[in-house]
Amino acid sequence: MKIENFNIVTTFLALWLAVTLGSKLENYLAYFLILSIGILHGSNDIRIINKVQNNGKSSLKQSLLGFILIVLLGTALFYFIPALGLVVFVLISGYHFGEQHFSALESDYQIAKFGLYFFYGCFVIFLLLFTNALEAQDIIYNIAQFNVDKPLLMIPLLIAGIGFGSAMAFFAYKGLLPKWYKELFFLFVFFIVFSTAGLLWSFAIYFILWHSLPSLLHQIAFLNGKITKDSIFNYVKTSFIYWFISVVGLFLFFIYLVEDQDLFLAIFFSFLAAITFPHVLVMSKIFEH
């Protein structure tokens, strides 16, 4: 079964769970998936960057220090200028989601390709926020101390939609995106999911099924040449220490803030943002190769 077909079937299964499970159980399941598969897909970044740069073991410390430095800078940005940090996180994540989704696109139209990646990912993010505006408003306020109403979320959603539609039309016209109609169908599926499920479960469905799993397959193939049971096991084994540190750190926050769901969600997404910044750079290097 192709990954897209698997994702469609699993997405509707997750949608069924959204209307079956209670919100509390739904959120716990979302946390579990994000902390397991979601964080795992970014836990081998140092090994990947070493391979990209053909570095030996002597450069492992240098790569690790660089990775930690970027995470700390991202954390500092969220701490000192949270509103700017949130905007940067959304924009970078938008590009990253689009780059992963259209990784098979081969084109020398670099500006148009950048626009396709950027506007597609931003459209998905703002569609998620717009359809779950009340929950999104609380999280945004807890992170940035800034009130965002639903009409305001409509503005970037429209801009991203127009930008993505224009870029997709360009590549379809050039014959480089022959199955463009599938992208519209997928976005329609996302709209149904986001409109039915809560914010956290909606994010988990997209982040795990439509981003993390395809990204994991790309990374495993890049590191091992092919995808086998052994290569998957090797990926998990080499990722474990970084994954474990990340999960334990976030779990300690959860214990401390377990009574304040909104504040924990704010810290949770801030944490994801901090580890996203270096991961985006690493994945861009993979796609260059």
| Torsion-angle region of 145 (φ positive above 0: left; ψ -120 to 50: alpha; else: beta) | left
| Cα gap 73→84, rounded to integer Å | 13
Whole-number pLDDT of residue 68: 78
First to last CA, the chain: 26
The CB density around residue 154, as the number of other CB atoms within 10 Å, is: 13
In three-state secondary structure terms, 136 is helix
Q: Are 174 and 109 in contact (CB under 8 A)?
A: yes
Q: What is the mean pLDDT of residues 79-102?
A: 90
Question: 107-129: per-residue pLDDT in tens?
Answer: 989 999 999 999 999 999 999 99
| Cα gap 89→139, rounded to integer Å | 14
Q: What is the mean pLDDT of residues 138-162?
A: 92
pLDDT greater than 80 at residue 167: yes
pLDDT greater than 60 at residue 55: no
More confident of the two residues 171 and 264: 171
DSSP 173-237: HTTS-TTHHHHHHHHHHHHHHHHHS-HHHHHHIIIIIIIIHHHHHHHHHHHHSS--HHHHHHHHH
- Give, in order, the Cα–Cα distances in Å from 94 to each of 135, 156, 170: 20, 12, 20
Confidence of residue 76 (pLDDT cuts 50, 70, 90): confident
Whole-number pLDDT of residue 225: 81
Percent of the chain with pLDDT over 70: 89
Question: 210-249: per-residue pLDDT in tens?
Answer: 999 999 998 888 888 888 888 988 888 888 877 787 777 7
Q: Are 86 and 257 in contact (CB under 8 A)?
A: no
Q: What share of the chain is helix, strand, coil (3-state, %, to 5)?
A: 85, 0, 15
Domain residue spans in the chain?
A: 3-288
Question: 7-43: per-residue pLDDT in tens?
Answer: 999 999 998 988 887 778 888 888 888 888 887 777 7
| Cα gap 138→79, rounded to integer Å | 18
Q: Are 220 and 235 in contact (CB under 8 A)?
A: yes
More confident of the two residues 45 and 171: 171
pLDDT greater than 90 at residue 59: no
Whole-number pLDDT of residue 188: 96
Q: What is the mean pLDDT of residues 125-147?
A: 91
| Cα gap 285→279, rounded to integer Å | 10
| Cα gap 33→29, rounded to integer Å | 6
Q: Are 41 and 219 in contact (CB under 8 A)?
A: yes
Token digits of residue 175: 């014959």
- Give, in order, the Cα–Cα distances in Å from 89 to each of 5, 81, 118: 30, 12, 12
Across the chain, mean pLDDT equals 85
Q: What is the mean pLDDT of residues 171-181?
A: 94
Q: What is the mean pLDDT of residues 129-135?
A: 95
pLDDT greater than 90 at residue 166: yes
Q: Are 221 and 286 in contact (CB under 8 A)?
A: no
pLDDT greater than 80 at residue 266: no
Q: Which residue has the tokens 């149904």?
A: 192
Token digits of residue 180: 């463009």
Confidence of residue 159 (pLDDT cuts 50, 70, 90): very high
More confident of the two residues 53 and 40: 40
Token digits of residue 147: 């009130």
What is the reported pTM? 0.89
Chain-centroid distance of CA 145 in Å reads 23
Confidence of residue 260 (pLDDT cuts 50, 70, 90): low
Confidence of residue 105 (pLDDT cuts 50, 70, 90): very high
Of 26-40, 106-120, 141-155, 270-284, least confident by mean pLDDT is 270-284
Whole-number pLDDT of residue 250: 67
Residues 6 or more apart in contact with residue 59 via CB below 8 angstroms: 50, 53
